[in-house]
Amino acid sequence: MAGAYDDRDGHIWMDGKLLPWREANVHILTHALHYASSVFEGERAYGGKIFKSREHSERLQRSARLIDFEIPWTVDQIEEAKAEVMKASGLSDAYVRALAWRGAGEDMGVASARNPVRLAIAAWEWGAYYGDAKTRGAKLDISKWKRPSPETAPSQAKAAGLYMICTMSKHAAEAKGCSDAMMFDYRGYVAEATGANIFFVKDGEVHTPKPDCFLNGITRQTVIGLLDDRQIKVHERHIEPGELESFQQCWLTGTAAEVTPVGQIGDYNFEVGNLTRQIAEDYEKLVRA
């Protein structure tokens, strides 16, 4: 599948039925388009099976509740809808996007309690998120934008509004020839990349930021489990910017990113070392098991 995302063959599940891809549209006065009242999930299918599908569906519902709406479909119904989409797509390996949002209705201001909640699910073929960085290591800029305090935004929701500064950061990074940007949090600690969690290696042990103001990714949790299986010590903690020069390896995790090594962050360089490669291989085996 190729071309603009609004002009493709295929089907998208929307509000209980499969629609031809080009007909899966919303009105210009959809509340989410104006006020970011939407949540989503990014998932990958391997060999026809969506990895940790139910966990993603459960998180979608939690995210909706965190931004003050209920999705009118159960987890079981969302799972059935994703199975419909996978069958209709004809794809074995695919990226799956579930999106729930406040639609057009009686309200068109900040408040939107009377507007219907909509749900859509699409699937398409999508290769490596960072291209050849999976072998040579991604190059990251350091963003000027910081992840917000949990007192200012629902940081554990996978909500569209939280990605605005991520888009800006990634655009700035790409303009400098980088794949992505690393972000600090509101206190100045290392947080994450624009759409992926981050891990560092020092003297055979792993250090990763404590997810107290950003999303604790499903892939992040999976990789911590893989490290535990290898009896690798994992430190989940606040990481100061000055510590970056002491780390030997670095990688990113996320549904889209999977496990991607990092070769450079700003002026700091990292080797694509054995542990990084082992965890990437372990993850690949797990998702295709």
The residues assigned a catalytic role are 158
Measure Cα distances from 250 to 66, 93, 206, 230, 247 in Å.
31, 27, 9, 17, 8
Which residue intervals of the chain are DSSP H helices?
Answer: 31-35, 53-66, 75-89, 133-136, 164-175, 218-229, 274-287
User: Residue 233: CB partners within 8 Å, gap ≥ 6?
Assistant: 204, 205, 206
Q: What span, in angstroms and rounded, lies between the C-alpha atoms of 167 and 188?
A: 20
β-strands 38-46, 180-185 pairing? unpaired
Distance CA 114, CA 137 (A): 48
What DSSP element (H or E) covers 141? strand 138-147
Tokens of 268: 């700091």
Cα–Cα dist 222/52, whole Å? 10
